Amino acid sequence: MQPVLSVKNLYYSYHNLKGETPAIADISFDVAEGEFLAIVGPSGCGKSTLLSIIAGLLKPEGGSLSFGWPTTIGYMLQHDHLFEWRTIYQNVILGLELNKSMTKENIDYVLQLLKDYGLYSFKDQKPSQLSGGMRQRAALIRTLAIKPSLLLLDEPFSALDFQTRLTVSADIGNIIRQTEKTAILITHDLSEAVTLADRVLVLSKRPSTVKAELNIHYDIDRASPLSIRNTAEYQEYFNKLWKELSDDVPK
């Protein structure tokens, strides 16, 4: 089957007058339809640069990027960035507004998402009246509203406190699984990667390459990340990733 996204020998570096800083040396990977891919790596290894390139915000300096078919990309950032001058409803339809696709069908879809994820009764409130977890869910609805076929998640839970983080990542993981979206998650939290993803790519430190790849499979239902965290497989996956990553840390 044709992959949704296929990245080949990607290369990117940042430039300033003092010289060139290579961020991505050579990265290749495919993402299959419906797959949840996590990318982990040491901080500053160019993970976010990679997502920006996939999202089309940056142009690669070398290599290629091809989509299996016309793809709408949804991008979820670290912070929810809900606009305080808009209500929750006005925030989640922002993407439709920008794409000039405020059709009745699309608006009904957004309202349905608000209902499904328990935010409908908050739709006329301001973001500051919602909890951190609810805000992040609203941010996800804003991303889903434009019906993306590929979701890019750039450490979307890292700004939340630990407890909220566990529930919200479980929530959002389930939403993505239920809607059968293809997703790429960038994180530095190994347990997050191991509980949510079908496959994990480990990047080396800058300039980054794909250093290792790990397929994740659990026998039990994914719906409850807490029970996943108690399985033996989880421990095994976690330790493998940990080992891969710690090789990069200078002794």
Binding residues for another protein, per CB under 8 A?
55, 57, 73-75, 77-79, 81, 83-85, 94-95, 97-99, 126, 142, 146
Angle formed by the axes of helices 132-144 and 162-178, to 10°?
30
Q: Which is nearer to another protein, 122 or 237 (CB)?
A: 122
Q: Min. distance of Cβ 148 from another protein in angstroms?
A: 10
> What single letter denotes the amino acid at residue 133?
G
Strands ordered across the beta sheet of 182-186: 62-67, 5-16, 19-31, 208-215, 199-203, 36-40, 182-186, 150-154, 73-76
Burial class (CB in 10 A: 0-12, 13-18, 19+), 37: buried
Neighbouring-strand partners of residue 74: 151
Nearer to another protein, 96 or 245 (CB): 96
Taking phi first (over 0 means left), then psi (-120 to 50 degrees means alpha), and beta for anything else, what does residue 34 get? left
Residues whose CB falls within 8 Å of the CB of residue 121, separated by 6 or more in sequence, listed in order: none
End-to-end CA distance of the chain: 43
Least distance from another protein to the Cβ atom of residue 30, Å: 22
- Smallest separation, CB 26 to another protein (Å): 26
CB of 228 to another protein, least distance (A): 30
142 versus 206: smaller Cβ distance to another protein:
142
Closer to another protein by CB, 68 or 127: give it. 127
- CB 154 within 8 Å of CB 77: yes
Is the Cβ of residue 99 or residue 246 nearer to another protein in the bound state?
99
Task: Tell me the torsion sign for CA atoms 24, 29, 34, 38.
Answer: negative
Residue with tokens 């869910």: 137
The CB density around residue 129, as the number of other CB atoms within 10 Å, is 12
CB of 188 to another protein, least distance (A): 18
**Angle formed at CA 170 by CA 27 and CA 199, multiple of 5 degrees:** 25
- Minimum CB distance to another protein smaller for 135 or for 199: 135
Nearer to another protein, 84 or 161 (CB): 84
For residue 125, the minimal CB distance to another protein (Å) is 12
User: In angstroms, what is the minimal distance from the CB of 250 to another protein?
Assistant: 31
Which amino acid belongs to residue 69? Answer: W
